Amino acid sequence: MHWSTRHHYTFRSVWDLSAPPAAVYGVLERAGEYPTWWPQVRSVTPLDDISGVAVFRSFLPYELTVTATEKRRDPAGGVLEIAMSGDLDGWARWTLSARAGGTRAVYEQQVEVRRPLMRRFALPGRPVFLANHAWMMRGGRRGLEALLQRV
Q: How many helices (H) and strands (E) does the chain have?
A: 4, 7
The letter for the amino acid at 1 is M
Strand 88-99 and strand 64-74: pairing? Answer: unpaired
Say what the pTM is. Answer: 0.90
The per-residue pLDDT for range 5-41, each reduced to its tens digit, is 778 889 999 999 999 999 999 999 999 999 999 999 9
- Rounded Cα distance between 136 and 38, Å, is 8
- Rounded Cα distance between 124 and 130, Å, is 11
User: What pLDDT does 6 receive?
Assistant: 73
- Rounded Cα distance between 58 and 64, Å, is 9
The per-residue pLDDT for range 56-93, each reduced to its tens digit, is 998 888 899 999 999 999 999 999 999 999 999 999 99
The letter for the amino acid at 10 is T
Strand 51-56 and strand 41-46: pairing? Answer: antiparallel
38: three-class secondary structure by DSSP? coil
